[in-house]
Chains A and B, each alone.
Chain A
Amino acid sequence: MSNILEDQVAIITGSTSGMGEAIARRFAKEGAAVVVNGTNEDRGKRIVEEIRNDGGKAAFFRADVSSATEVEAMVDFTVEQFSKVTTLVPNAGILGNGLATEISLETWDKTIGVNLNGVYYLCRYGLPKLIEAGGGTVVINASIASFKSFPQHPAYCASKGALIPLMKNIAQDYAEHNIRANALCPGPVDTPLIWDSVKAFPNADSIIDETISMTCVGRLGTPEDVAEAALFFASDQSSFITGASLTIDGGIMT
């Protein structure tokens, strides 16, 4: 264990599995206190216990990020537990797949609610705490879907697309408070979500293999690949970088 995030207190939404979980574990390993969030209480509590057993600082807060009230409560909980907030990692995301003309309005609203509003709510209630702490970082987990389409992912792509300008706006407006905001844009990463995602593809059986062959490096990304980039943006190593997006996709977009 090293300590490059020592004194940081991070909220990582959607961290009971996949990339969020990897980010929470990585940050805790670097000395940050982390709030693990999700709706699966069992998984969340288990992750927290494991982090604590490794000597890390962690707490679980159950919240649906599409609820502003619950997100505000999570921010307050974090301050109660760890006395401040320095690092926001809005990561929670859902797919809401289907053709644009066929998904229900509820599916559209819920996807936008989690993937876009959830990010905004964490910023809305978290940024004042970062200002109080004298500065901090926002690391938004967007997607290569911010830049390109996927079959039957209209709500997902639209919500992820909106995250980049939101991130840039936060970078611009809060730089004077010593707050940096950046985005991660992962490509095909081996998480539970990607296996749901492929179901919307016409070539669902072969798309993962085809995707792997479309990357330059010839493999799916791992949640840990993304966690390393999150660590870079949350640490002083990126101290002059704000308003940037980093694509972590093994070269699939090049």
Chain B
Amino acid sequence: MKTIDLTGKTAVVSGGGGEIGFAMCEGLAEAGANVIALDINTERVPQDHEKISTLPLDLSDTAGIRSAVKDISEIDILVHAAGVNIAAPVAEFEEQAWDAVFDVNLKSAFFLTKALLPRFQSGRNGKIVFVSSISAKLGYPGLHAYTASKGGLDALIRNLSTELAADGICVNGIAPGTTKTGMTKGLWDDKEKCRAHEATIPMGRMADCSDHIGPLLFLCSEMSDYVTGQILCSDGGLTSVQADFINLELRGGNE
């Protein structure tokens, strides 16, 4: 099903070596875009795709972002897919962990946007898509910094949309539901826990990385030219029923 043609567009994807990030790189490349995958470890990005190139970038070093992307010329699409998670109970949650999560998930989202803004081609529709999370809407014990950073990202999406429209840029987000990646391995590796979790999702399963490609391409294409400041949940219906974390076992029990 070839639905969206991004031939001739250049897309930059942060966290392009991550599982969701790389799936997004592949989706954009298959739609015809030239993709630059940014990652702290570019060796994580498979090198066999002719339309995907790589650039090393440490998003925890916000001061270094501008110089790291200085060789990128014109772009049409920016996807911020980089994200990290550190989970711990409040009493054990250290400031360093908080900062590490916020630096990558939120602060770098803003400063990468700032650094690349002059590279958006004038007179052409620009698209920025942030990968948020349903955890911006639903609570989960231990994920204090992660959920707060994603909530902040949602607010940033709305705010950037108001200012960047004047430059012809739409700013939107995708909020994936629980997706089978290394970050959630503890959940889907445990068959019983996974079954309990999937029972709370109307579509009855966790997401695969590929599930988020369709919404990404929609938000990167002219199909969504009148859509800005929005966050699209790609979650199998989870947030619409708000059922996910009612599961006490997932919540860490109510002991």
Q: Which segment, of B9-17, B107-115, B189-197, B222-230, faces chain A?
A: B222-230
Q: Which residue of B lies closest to A217 (CB)?
A: B165
Query: Is B66 interfacial (CB 8 A cutoff)?
Result: no
Q: Which segment, of B41-49, B88-96, B206-214, faces chain A?
A: B206-214
* Whole-angstrom CA separation of A238 from B241 in the bound complex: 18
Interface residue range, chain A: 35 or more
Q: Which of B204, B218, B229 contacts A175 (CB 8 A)?
A: B204
Query: Is B56 interfacial (CB 8 A cutoff)?
Result: no
Q: Which of B158, B228, B232 contacts A250 (CB 8 A)?
A: B228
* Whole-angstrom CA separation of A218 from B3 in the bound complex: 28
Given contacts A231-B223, A251-B161, contact A216 B203 (CB under 8 A): no
Q: In whole Å, how far is A178's beta carbon from the nearest beta carbon of chain B? A: 9
A229 touches B240 (CB 8 A): no
Q: In whole Å, how far is B69's beta carbon from the nearest beta carbon of chain A? A: 25
Query: Is B122 interfacial (CB 8 A cutoff)?
Result: no
Query: Is A236 interfacial (CB 8 A cutoff)?
Result: yes
Among B202-255, those with CB < 8 Å from A are 202-204, 207, 211-212, 214-215, 217-218, 222-230, 232-241
Given contacts A171-B240, A229-B227, contact A238 B165 (CB under 8 A): no
Mark contacts of A228-254 with chain B using CB atoms, 8 A cut-off: 1 yes-contact digit, 0 otherwise.
Answer: 110110011111111110111111011
* Whole-angstrom CA separation of A215 from B232 in the bound complex: 19
Query: Is A2 interfacial (CB 8 A cutoff)?
Result: yes
A172 touches B226 (CB 8 A): no
Mark contacts of B92-131 with chain A using CB atoms, 8 A cut-off: 1 yes-contact digit, 0 otherwise.
Answer: 0000000000000000000000000000000000000000
B contact residues around A226 at 8 Å (CB): 226
Top 4 closest pairs, chain A to chain B, by CB: A243-B240, A254-B229, A237-B214, A216-B165
